[in-house]
Chains A and B, each alone.
Chain A
């Protein structure tokens, strides 16, 4: 697996998309930092970009990379390696290279801006962590979709639908249910709904780090209390990891059962 990972990773890191993705974050982060002149505000603005873009790019690249490297996978399938090694290797190769582009693209401007010794460092670290988590989750989801669908157009369509659901529609349903169950105490419900969607989970985690959390009022206090305890932290971590492990497990199973 490590061999496949290595080759996928170096193959991807040399592609121009990695560079574009890296440059996008580097330019966005730099301009936000210098325009706002305030790390905290730059982090808040970048949060909005990350929770939309990391999942989107993760799913798109995931589907695209799987389809593009299908034949390469076939070449590998005839070699003496385990099937799961091939797909896990490719998955990790893509996830790591995307994450690297993202972390470097964000990290370099912030390091030059002097984030390392600053009080905002923890916030920035959570931002990077959340973006990376989203990347790993959505690349895995994309692989699952692509493996299930031979038809590229169908695969792409489905991937966009999944992204749209997680990033947009889910929150719509969330809001709707808040109004429907208005008369009940909704803090626990909100917590559960948040934890069940990786995009919301990432969004709330970053917001609680930033001082925007004061705007969340009473609900925010409940959230803060939950995420602030070690119990809450562990639960959150477990959820985030589950959101990576379950799709990865699924893609492994599907790849194991598939004919090429």
Chain B
């Protein structure tokens, strides 16, 4: 369970989160959607303790996040852009992250699935963007954590790898894990998400299943639903302004 209560955060004058309440219960894939700058990444980073909220609290499992670090052993995180110590070899990076987490990892099957065997002895600075993202994915999925957080997991991947990744996410869901996901590829959301959280202007605008969303907007395609929400939102604003 991940519980977020009244989360507030501003960067300078820019108020990014204006009191977010979110409870992720049970298992499955939770897609966090929203336009650019709506605070998706800020929420994720707050859960990870990378961003320190101004107000509110976050509980992961049974542990509060604030001032704590031990709960992160239950979380696997796939960041948007993967940056690594450039002088390390892939092999060494994997070994290092295992060492730092103090956990055993099951990387071998993942390496084979993404065909990374040939890169194990290459230095990270010599890898292409796509290969780095694959390494990033291996790093994330090699640990058997109950919580998985994926921030734009598909960036830079070729179609074959994309399919492998989807399979992988489905497999993790089947194991009964909680998976938080942000992506701009609606296709993935439609295929996999059990629940959608839609952020707008630093607040949760919508939370529910894909079907709920369709019902609310009257659109079949998710992409169109979202466009609909955004446009309607604009209209609402206009109404508020005129009256």
Contact = CB atoms under 8 A, between A and B. Distances in A.
Query: Do A's and B's CB atoms come within 8 Å in the complex?
Result: yes
Interface stretch (B81-89, B106-114, B181-189): B81-89
Contacts of A70: 83
Nearest to A16: B87
A259 interface: yes
Nearest to A12: B87
Contacts, number: 66
Contacts of B49: 77, 83
A75 B79 contact: yes
Nearest to B44: A78
Contacts of B69: 80-83
B11 A72 contact: no
A88 to B, nearest CB: 14
B83 A77 contact: no
Interface stretch (B23-31, B70-78, B162-170, B199-207): B70-78
Contacts of A3: 99-100
Contact of B75 (A4, A11, A74, A78): A78
Interface of B: 11, 45, 48-52, 69-73, 75, 77, 79, 81-88, 96-97, 99-102
A177 interface: no
Interface of A: 3-4, 7, 11, 14-15, 68-72, 74-83, 257-260
B61 to A, nearest CB: 13
Contacts of B87: 11, 14-15
Given A7-B85, A11-B85, A72-B85, A79 B50 contact: no
A72 B100 contact: no
A72 B81 CA distance: 11
Contact of B84 (A15, A75, A78, A82): A75
Contacts of A74: 50, 79, 83
B48 A78 contact: yes
Contacts of A81: 69, 72, 100
Query: Main SS of the interface on chain A?
Result: helix
Contacts of B51: 259-260
Contacts of A80: 69-73, 101-102
A259 B11 contact: yes
Contact of B100 (A4, A15, A69, A257): A4
B45 A71 contact: no
Given A74-B50, A74-B79, A260-B50, A79 B97 contact: yes
Contact of B101 (A11, A14, A79, A83): A79
Nearest to B45: A260
A78 B101 contact: no
Sorted from nearest, which 4 A-B pairs have the closest CB atoms? A71-B83, A80-B73, A78-B77, A80-B72
B102 to A, nearest CB: 8
Contacts of A7: 85, 96, 100
Nearest to A83: B69
Contacts of A83: 49, 69
Contacts of B101: 79-80
A8 to B, nearest CB: 8
Contacts of B75: 78
Contacts of B99: 3
A245 to B, nearest CB: 23
B50 A77 contact: yes
B216 to A, nearest CB: 33
Given A80-B69, A80-B71, A257 B52 contact: yes
B89 to A, nearest CB: 11
